[in-house]
């Protein structure tokens, strides 16, 4: 009897380690997807010299091979890209002055607003001005969810552009 109970404990320990390993793999895969999205968003901002709404006709190819063609500014291009990537994670922007949040991924709306503490956004950004140039900080979110339990926790990833001398936006 004692050996059968010890065997059950052993199976329980093995099962717990398998679950922890599967959870680690799931978080790693979601993090790498979010990291790729963040890098493409930074590239869009840098190639459009900011987050202008309509900065002219654009024909862009992202590092991932996705092509974007049309009349888009930096903000429009990011939102269209996020729609195409089926991005749906939301989170809270930092509690600091100067942060804006994007509540709607529509490419033809005024979707950025000053970030509020209690509102969840698709992504957040802040424009920082130093020595005549500007750089942008962005924050995107990714969520860890299980099929039966649902969303367990939401993580964020921050990124920063290179300095941009002449920006085409009003933020």
Q: Note the Cα 157 to chain centre separation in Å.
A: 7
Q: How far apart are CA 64 and CA 82, in angstroms?
A: 13
**Confidence bin at 22 (pLDDT 50/70/90):** confident
pLDDT band at 26 (very low <50, low <70, confident <90, very high): confident
| pLDDT tens-digit map of 84-119 | 888 888 999 998 889 999 988 876 566 788 899 899
Q: Is the pLDDT of residue 33 over 60?
A: yes
pLDDT at 45 > cutoff 70: yes
DSSP string of the chain, one letter each residue: -HHHHHHHHHHHHHHHHHHHHHHHHHHHHHHHHHHHHHHHHHHHHHHTTS--S--SEEEEE-TTS-EEEEE--HHHHHHHHHHHTT----BPPPSSTTEEEE----TTS--EEE--TT--BSEEEEEEEETTEEEEEEEEEEEEEETTTEEEEEEEEEEEPPPBSS--S--
| Local confidence band at 63 (pLDDT 50, 70, 90 cut-offs) | low
Q: Is the pLDDT of residue 158 over 70?
A: yes
Interval 152-156 mean pLDDT? 84
Contact 145, 28 (CB under 8 A): no
């Amino acid at each position: 009897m004692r050996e059968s109970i010890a065997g059950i404990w052993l199976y329980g320990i093995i099962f717990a380690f398998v679950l922890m390993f599967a959870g680690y793999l799931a978080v790693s895969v979601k993090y790498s997807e979010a990291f790729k999205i963040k890098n493409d968003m930074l590239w869009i901002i840098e190639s459009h010299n900011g987050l202008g709404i309509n900065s002219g006709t654009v024909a862009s190819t992202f590092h991932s091979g996705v092509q974007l063609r049309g009349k888009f500014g930096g903000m429009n291009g990011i939102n269209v890209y996020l729609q195409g990537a089926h991005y749906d994670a939301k989170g809270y922007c930092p509690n600091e002055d100067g942060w804006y949040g994007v509540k709607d991924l529509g490419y033809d709306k005024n979707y950025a607003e000053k970030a509020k503490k209690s509102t969840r956004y698709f992504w957040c950004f802040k424009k920082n001005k130093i020595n005549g140039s500007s750089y942008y900080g962005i924050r995107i979110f990714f969520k860890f969810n299980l099929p039966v339990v649902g969303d367990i926790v939401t993580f964020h990833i921050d990124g920063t552009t290179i300095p941009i001398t002449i920006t085409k936006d009003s933020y």
